Amino acid sequence: MKACYSLVCAALSICLSVPTAGDAEPVTIASPDGAIRVEVLVNDEGRLCYWVQRVKGSDTVILNPSALGITVDGVDLGQGAALGECRRTMIDERYPCRGVHSEAVNRCHVAQIDVTHAESKMSYVIEMRVFDDGLAYRYVVPGVGQRTISGEVSVWNLPRDCQVWYQTNVANYEGFYAKSLSTRIKVDEQIGFPVTIQYADGTYGAITEAGLLAFSGLTVRAARPSRLKGVFEDDAKWQETGEIRTPWRVTMTGPDLNALVNSDIVANLCPAPDANLFPDGLACAWIKPGRSLWNWWSDSSVEFRYQKEWVDKAAEMGFEYYLVDAGWEKSWQLPTKDMWACLKELCDYAKGKGVGINVWKHWGGLETVGDREDFLRRCAQAGAVGVKIDFMDSESRSRIDFYTYTLATAARNKLMVNYHGANKPTGESRTFPNEMTREGIRGLEYNKWSELPATHYATLPFTRYLAGHGDFTPCTFNPDKLKGTTAALQLASTVVFTSPLMHWADHWKFYLDSNVLEVIKAMPSTWDQTIVLPGSEIGQVAAFARRSGASWFVGIINGGKAQTHALDLSFLADGAYDAVLVRDVEGKPAEMSVERANVTKGQKLDVQTQDDGGFVAWLVPAK
């Protein structure tokens, strides 16, 4: 096998022929750096499948032979298949992005493999892309007219000795993540993407889908001995017209958690923005990341008479936005003006304060094209800069159309979008950079009526956030809503969690009265660089260093008992930094201590966190 692999590295353009049972010859694709090897073949039973191995650093099997196939008009095109011509190309590009870092790298080897289904004579293509940190494939089935999709035989056959983290809410993806050996997941358990994997050698992986813009959303179900099988939970079957081009089925892999968090694969697999909708791409003047206050989480009134005060406080904190949440449409029908006149008045007032207004809407009022276009047009005319659309709770083919068409319509009205009650992200924000964030996550709203354990905070950065941005709506300092965490952990979550439009959950009084207001005012919502620090462990510790310009923020979330973290400042540039260090106060979870220090590159700090506690550092080059 190693000899075959060396030939791949030497002459990548050649499709290798490796003897297998039967007449079919496998197709081998290597990653640009030669670290990952993928083989597509037909097995003894005539089943199209693939397997993946890491061959540099360690001979780790990422996926055992895993079935491939899509069912079109009742025919499983992966059974009784034959491989044909393989066409190879390479993609090597960089493009601006936002969130984890400011520039994405899209570098992969591409193999388009012709496949013929023997009995039906139907021909199609498996397109495989292999990156240095993972791989993805999709099915492309040519044709005209309507055809029925009723499933995929897309399988991830995991090694039996790996650990997995997964959640089972496939409606709005608001589940807790469980940890299990891959062999011990309950058979037929419904699982929503992404799923995170730790291999026996200590390396990591994750599976998800990308480019879900016009298809039904894929989930997986567990099967013995260690397989996850693709399923369309929201559509038993549906019809597609013309060429069938599925979303991408993705497997990330890397030596450590830092590699997973910094992977660009999901975005790379999505089309670049349409220049007609986004002539300046991510840099369109009306698309601006930022931080927002909102009234709903703190149970504050949405009555119109209170809204200007919220705008005032957002401006005082230096926040870019205020979100008017559920209830405004009814409560803003005043004797002297309707809801649209009220909205315009608030938007005009907020504009004078340098604050943009986003407004909430239930998706059910936007189901028809006419309703959607009318609402978004009226929001734009009133001066709103964005909308929060809620309660889709599905990723059926028709609901995915709603997501995509709404983003396009919003773009034509120069409106940003935040989706709540939503499915997982699949890279849509590359194609539609006006999607600023989406929920699809068990967020801080649950602390209103139940409790989020600290382990959940320490799990999310390495599970759900691998799929993309998440509107967790972080950070409460309210003692009644800490629910077992500390205020320092809550502040750290704003560093560790990724959301280009970051909604700070609590009432403004808790922020303005805190001793960390200067840190809050300085906190960005997007980053130029992210480093997952040593000592991070899924569910136990999430330690991140993030750079914005020349300044750095460190956030540490401790998901367990009190411990000391060795914070190595080697990531800093040369020279001195002024540091603000925010720590837990022992025995007082609602309090934070603030220390000022002067630090330099390579210095090591002992950081003590309390049970379910946290730590934040703000590091600015000294003047």
User: Is 34 within the bounds of a domain?
Assistant: yes
User: Is 203 within the bounds of a domain?
Assistant: yes
- E strands along 201-280, which residues? 204-210, 219-223, 227-231, 238-241, 244-245, 248-254
Residues 209-264 pLDDT 10s: 999 999 999 999 999 889 999 999 999 999 999 999 999 999 999 999 999 999 99
d(C-alpha 555, C-alpha 24), whole Å: 52
Query: Which residues are CB-neighbours of 124 under 8 A, at least 6 positions away?
Result: 70, 77, 114, 115, 117, 139, 140, 141, 142
Is the peptide bond prior to 142 cis by the omega test (within 30 degrees of 0)? no
Rounded to whole angstroms, the maximal C-alpha distance in the chain is: 81
Confidence of residue 57 (pLDDT cuts 50, 70, 90): confident
Secondary structure class of 337 (helix, strand, coil): coil
The count of C-alpha atoms lying within 13 angstroms of the C-alpha of 219, restricted to the half-sphere facing its C-beta, is: 25
d(C-alpha 531, C-alpha 546), whole Å: 6
Give the residues across from 96 on adjacent strands: 103
What is the mean predicted confidence (pLDDT) over 180-203?
Answer: 97
The share of the chain scoring above pLDDT 90, in percent, equals 95
Secondary structure class of 594 (helix, strand, coil): strand
Secondary structure class of 348 (helix, strand, coil): helix
Q: How many structural domains does the chain have? A: 1
Give the residue carrying structure tokens 């260090």.
581
What is the mean predicted confidence (pLDDT) over 10-30?
Answer: 54
Secondary structure class of 253 (helix, strand, coil): strand
pLDDT of 550 over the 50 cut: yes
pLDDT at position 68, please? Answer: 98
pLDDT of 3 over the 60 cut: no
The CA-to-CA distance between both ends of the chain, in Å, stands at: 57
DSSP 426-462: -SHHHH-TTEEEE--S--GGGGGTS---HHHHHHGGG
User: Is 606 within the bounds of a domain?
Assistant: no
Count of residues for the chain?
623
Q: What are phi and psi of 449, to 5 degrees?
A: -130, -10
pLDDT of 184 over the 70 cut: yes
pLDDT of 268 over the 90 cut: yes
pLDDT of 283 over the 50 cut: yes
What is the mean predicted confidence (pLDDT) over 521-526?
Answer: 98
User: Is 531 within the bounds of a domain?
Assistant: no
pLDDT of 130 over the 70 cut: yes
Q: Which residue range is the domain that position 126 belongs to?
A: 2-268
Confidence of residue 16 (pLDDT cuts 50, 70, 90): very low
Secondary structure class of 366 (helix, strand, coil): helix
Average pLDDT, the chain: 95
Question: Can you give the C-alpha Rg of the chain in angstroms?
Answer: 25
Query: Which residues are CB-neighbours of 272 under 8 A, at least 6 positions away?
Result: 95, 281, 430, 431
Report which of 204, 258, 203, 197 is spatially closest to residue 533, judged by C-alpha positions: 258
User: Is 321 within the bounds of a domain?
Assistant: no
Pairing of strands 163-167, 190-198: antiparallel
d(C-alpha 358, C-alpha 312), whole Å: 15
pLDDT at position 25, please? Answer: 85
What is the mean predicted confidence (pLDDT) over 568-592?
Answer: 98
Query: Which residues are CB-neighbours of 330 under 8 A, at least 6 positions away?
Result: none
Burial group, residue 523, by CB count within 10 angstroms (0-12, 13-18, 19+): buried
What is the mean predicted confidence (pLDDT) over 471-497?
Answer: 98
Q: Is 371 left (phi over 0), alpha (psi -120 to 50) or beta?
A: alpha
The tokens for 384 are 């709103």
The tokens for 503 are 């909604």
User: Is 395 within the bounds of a domain?
Assistant: no
Instruction: Strand 576-584: give its sheet, edge to edge.
Output: 529-532, 541-548, 551-558, 614-621, 576-584, 592-600
d(C-alpha 515, C-alpha 511), whole Å: 8
CATH of the domain at 203: 2.70.98.10
d(C-alpha 129, C-alpha 91), whole Å: 9
pLDDT at position 24, please? Answer: 57
pLDDT of 11 over the 50 cut: no
pLDDT of 58 over the 90 cut: no
Do 460 and 497 contact (CB within 8 A), yes or no? yes
d(C-alpha 589, C-alpha 476), whole Å: 12
pLDDT of 114 over the 90 cut: yes
d(C-alpha 255, C-alpha 56), whole Å: 11
pLDDT at position 8, please? Answer: 31
Q: Is 85 left (phi over 0), alpha (psi -120 to 50) or beta?
A: beta
The tokens for 392 are 């889709």
Confidence of residue 12 (pLDDT cuts 50, 70, 90): very low
User: Is 76 within the bounds of a domain?
Assistant: yes
User: Is 69 within the bounds of a domain?
Assistant: yes
Confidence of residue 56 (pLDDT cuts 50, 70, 90): confident
**Could you count the other beta carbons within 10 Å of the beta carbon of residue 129?**
26
